[in-house]
Amino acid sequence: MNHKAVIVCAKRTPIGRAGGILRNIPPEDLASVVFRSILEETGVPAEVIEDVILGNVVGPGGNLARLSALQADFPVSVPGVTVDRQCGSGMEAVGQAVRLIQAGAGGVYLAGGVESVSRAPWKMKKPKNVWQQLPRFYERAAFSPEKIGDPDMGVAAENVAQKYGVTREEQDVYAVESHQKAVRAQKEGRYEGEIVPLSGVAEMDECPREQTNRKLLRRLPPVFVEHGTVTAGNSCPVNDGASVVLVMSEEKAKAWGLSPLVEVQDIVTTGVDPNYLGIGPISAVQQCLKRNNLEINDIDQMEFNEAFASQTIACLHALQVPRENVNSGGGAIALGHPYGASGAVITTRLCAEMKIQQTETGIAAMGIGGGMGIAMLCKNR
């Protein structure tokens, strides 16, 4: 029997810029405040949570999910597991909870992601000869072997722009639209049901800028490749934040008297050339649609993680997605990209927008470091 997995509550912290409003808050505190808010709103006691599954990328190591659960004062009987699929970690965590429920292995999970780039530890490589060589700092682990190619994210975004013919002007226009949509969503109160305010620290996202316009963005130089098209203005900022959803079997949701936001019907992960990692959502979405006998026109609402405007535009063109159906409340270029949390953030945003707009079917998708894509198919309940 294939059990239906439903999301009954989806929350997130405000998203802060690295070194910004959330800089002094440890990642376990960011996650635990969202845990407590979800349980308070739904009335579900912590002791019925069968596992806490969290994505994290640049954190301190260890099992951050377990630490966060204990920080939230959960009973010691509630376990936790931390997953790392780079930028897709938060969505991977939700997907693992969904699969456990669909397989009949459990019924109640907290799943999502958390990241504090502000508090990320420094990384050092241990020299081969510790007596004759000094250690050296490095920014990230390898995503792909050098024989294939392992470009930094911004360089990969330039590769996508060049291969798919995405111009600087297109990228800047898209970035302005993202900020405009996010600012409008803030003013309309569309985030209020999903954001957990941090009292005395932050009550709203830090990065959306009302003054952003094409004239300002034209002044910005390329930051990754000389004479390139990818700038700080048409890329996402680096961020802190957490987002978590409460995933239940349909039977458990009914037992607790909770109305589902969406049913998660499928989740697909695919691999692509690491040199063009931003196009991962293309194959992930296509495979997800094929597995569920759907066409792109059957999808009413989409959330794409806007790590870079170049890759988002390339994906939307390839998939033939109408832009008005995508990121209605703004995307990561405006809101930010807290790596391990971003997949859960766009899942939370999808749940919110599908309810606000009363759309039937939605997909959340993102590209992942190392050359992967992930897509989640949801149905409005």
Q: What is the pLDDT of residues 317-374, one digit of tens each?
A: 999 998 888 999 999 999 999 999 999 999 999 999 999 999 999 999 999 999 999 9
Of the candidates 49, 48, 50, 59, the residue with the CA atom closest to the CA atom of residue 82:
59
The answer to whether 106 and 53 are in contact (CB under 8 A) is no
Q: Mean of the per-residue pLDDT values for the chain?
A: 96
pLDDT of residue 134: 87
One-character DSSP codes across 306-361: -SBHHHHHHHHHHHT--GGGB-TT--HHHH-B-HHHHHHHHHHHHHHHHHHHT-SE
The band of 232, judged by pLDDT with boundaries at 50, 70 and 90, is very high
pLDDT of residue 381: 81
Q: Dihedral sign, CA of 37, 42, 47, 51?
A: negative
pLDDT of residue 121: 93
> Residue 114 is which amino acid?
V
Cα-based angle 101, 42, 248 (whole degrees, multiple of 5): 5
* DSSP 8-state assignment for residue 4: -
Please state, for a pLDDT cut of 90, what percent of the chain lies above it: 92
Q: Within 13 Å of residue 285, how many CA atoms lie on the same side as its CB?
A: 26
> Residue 145 is which amino acid?
P
Separation of alpha carbons 83 and 331, rounded Å: 23
Residue 147 has pLDDT above 90, yes or no: yes
Catalytic residue among 3, 236, 337, 351: 337
pLDDT of residue 20: 96
3-state SS of 179-247 is HHHHHHHHHHCCCCCCECCECCCECCCCCCCCCCCHHHHHCCCECCCCCCCCECCCECCEEEEEEEEEE
Separation of alpha carbons 210 and 176, rounded Å: 9
pLDDT of residue 129: 85
* DSSP 8-state assignment for residue 87: B
How far is the CA of 122 from the CAs of 28, 31, 369, in angstroms?
18, 21, 20
Give the burial string for 9-27 (b: 16+ CB within 10 Å, else e): bbbbbbbbbbebbbeebbb
* DSSP 8-state assignment for residue 57: S
Beta bridge partners of 302: 326, 363
- Answer yes or no: 317 catalytic: no
Separation of alpha carbons 293 and 290, rounded Å: 5
How far is the CA of 114 from the CAs of 13, 80, 158, 225, 285, in angstroms?
10, 14, 28, 30, 24
> Residue 196 is which amino acid?
V
Q: Which two tokens stand for residue 268?
A: 């697909």
Separation of alpha carbons 179 and 184, rounded Å: 8
Of the candidates 37, 69, 86, the residue with the CA atom closest to the CA atom of residue 342:
86
Helix orientation angle between 64-71 and 27-42, rounded to the nearest 10 degrees: 60
Q: Which two tokens stand for residue 63?
A: 């099992």
Separation of alpha carbons 85 and 229, rounded Å: 28
- If one counts every other C-beta atom within 10 angstroms of the C-beta of residue 258, the result is 18
pLDDT of residue 1: 59
Catalytic residue among 3, 9, 87, 207: 87
For the entire predicted model, the pTM comes to 0.96
- Answer yes or no: 87 catalytic: yes
Q: How large is the average pLDDT for residues 176-186?
A: 97
The band of 131, judged by pLDDT with boundaries at 50, 70 and 90, is confident
> Residue 71 is which amino acid?
Q
The answer to whether 16 and 42 are in contact (CB under 8 A) is no
The tens digit of pLDDT for each residue in 89-104 reads 999 999 999 999 999 9
